[in-house]
Amino acid sequence: MAKVYLKRAEKTPATGEDDTREIVARMLAEIETGGEERALQYARELDKHEGEIVVSDEAVEKAGASLPQSVKDDIQFSYDRVRGFAEAQLGSMKEFETELSPGLFAGQRLIPVNAAGCYVPGGRYAHVASAVMSVTTAKVAGVKNVVVCSPPNRDHAGAHPAIIYTANLCGADTILNMGGVQGVASLAFGLFTGHKADIIVGPGNRFVAEAKRILFGRVGIDLFAGPTEILVIADDSADPDVVASDLVGQAEHGPDSPAWLVSLSRDVAEAAMARVPEYIARLPEPNRTAAENAWRDYGEVVLVDTREEAVDVSDVYAPEHLEVQADDLDWWLDHLTNYGSLFLGEETTVAYGDKCSGTNHILPTKGAARYTGGLSVGKFIKTVTWQRMSRDANRSVGVASSRISRLEGMEGHALTGDDRLHKYFPQETFTLKP
């Protein structure tokens, strides 16, 4: 493959994981043992929060009253589209029953989990869109109890009012002024609510992501998340200014957010690289420094000769967000396979999907798009199977089961089939050994 790196990343998304794992494991163990009191201690120590943990109805009403109507209208715009997409996802799923052989019926049911925990970041930014993405999707799936936790904001003596308003609008049953590892632990262990989460979803910093990873198995999670990523594929039709703008737009998330460009045009690649510092300079602090560090340490630019090579390179990265700014968009849609969410054409961009266009922004990172998609209605629904059969169907199923069980050396399994055959067909003889 003719692949040339015009810029190589100095770090990878896995940099610094070991220290995080040790800190988070200790905190989770302490909170599981110490319960609500230890979680409260961490809230006081780390977030300087001394107020209520469970957001009251009065606080919800106050949060709504504090927001301009224009903000509420924008949140409603996002909610309507995310809900519409989630409802379409639900409509694409179905239960069924089928007769596999005479008298043997099997099927599948779609059962929502009973309780979901939604983590909504609220440290540097008020991530109202994350509340929309997680709570709305859970409620469309039919989850009975949705608990939201979000870090206390020091300017508001609790979670950001816009997050509280949004979570309530989207159907959250309980909202907690609790963030970080202690927030995730509260969701998992049912602290302050009595509802242990069956699944925990939502983005967060590396400590939040690691807490979810450690708890996976005891609870479900949406995915193993890391710093947000963008990859842009550009050909000679792409506008370098737009490419650079989109790379910087994701790099502002944090100093460890990868921004990758795969280009079929050296001119476009070099022009975009030249624009990036200019576009970073447009940002306010702390976004500017975050983007500078992200581009310096994690930015990468790859030059390829053909679009097939571009697909191969992109699929290896398996980016969270994948933009294609190139001709023949349907070709790219048909050939690209590894990504969290795909943005086709200059007219759309990651920010649209992140905020309000309808698709979910809780997406796989660190190459996980090779085997999973992002948050969807299906993440909150258990696809379970069932079967029933007639006695007559045991003639074939029971015999095959007994012989296979004995082939595997599992006599107890075999006898459960034998006993039924002898009960249902006492006058018949069956060959029950392989």
Q: Quick one: angle between helices 287-298 and 266-281, nearest 10?
A: 150
Q: Which residue has the tokens 């309808």?
A: 358
| Res 40: pLDDT | 95
CATH hierarchy code of domain 227-373 = 3.40.50.1980
One-letter amino acid for residue 329 of the chain: L
| Res 340: pLDDT | 96
Task: Quote the CA–CA distance of 132 and 203 in Å, as a whole number.
Answer: 12
Question: Phi and psi at residue 393, in whole multiples of 5°?
Answer: -65, -20
Q: What DSSP designation does 162 have?
A: H
Task: Quote the CA–CA distance of 258 and 60 in Å, as a whole number.
Answer: 36
Neighbour-count burial for 30-55, b at 16+ CB within 10 Å, e otherwise: bbbeebeebbbebbeebbebeeebeb
pTM attached to this predicted model: 0.91
Query: What are residue 84's DSSP bridge partners?
Result: none
Task: Quote the CA–CA distance of 419 and 430 in Å, as a whole number.
Answer: 12
Lowest mean pLDDT among 59-73, 152-166, 318-332: 152-166
Residue-wise pLDDT for 22-51, tens only, equals 999 999 999 999 999 999 999 999 999 999
Using alpha carbons, list the distances in angstroms from residue 61 to 55, 58, 161, 344: 10, 5, 10, 40
Domain layout of the chain by residue ranges: 17-222, 227-373, 390-434
Mean pLDDT of 387-396: 96
Mean pLDDT of 49-64: 95
Residue-wise pLDDT for 287-310, tens only, equals 999 999 999 999 999 999 999 999
Q: Tell me, yes or no, if the two domains 17-222 and 227-373 fold the same way.
A: yes
The residue count for the chain? 434
Using alpha carbons, list the distances in angstroms from residue 87 to 91, 128, 139: 6, 20, 10
Q: What DSSP designation does 26 have?
A: H
The residues carrying an active-site annotation are 320-321
What proportion of the chain, given as a percentage, has pLDDT over 70? 98
| Res 214: pLDDT | 95
What is 17-222's CATH number, 3.40.50.1980, 3.40.50.10860, 3.40.50.11270, 1.10.3720.10? 3.40.50.1980
Mean pLDDT of 183-200: 97
SS3 107: strand
One-letter amino acid for residue 1 of the chain: M
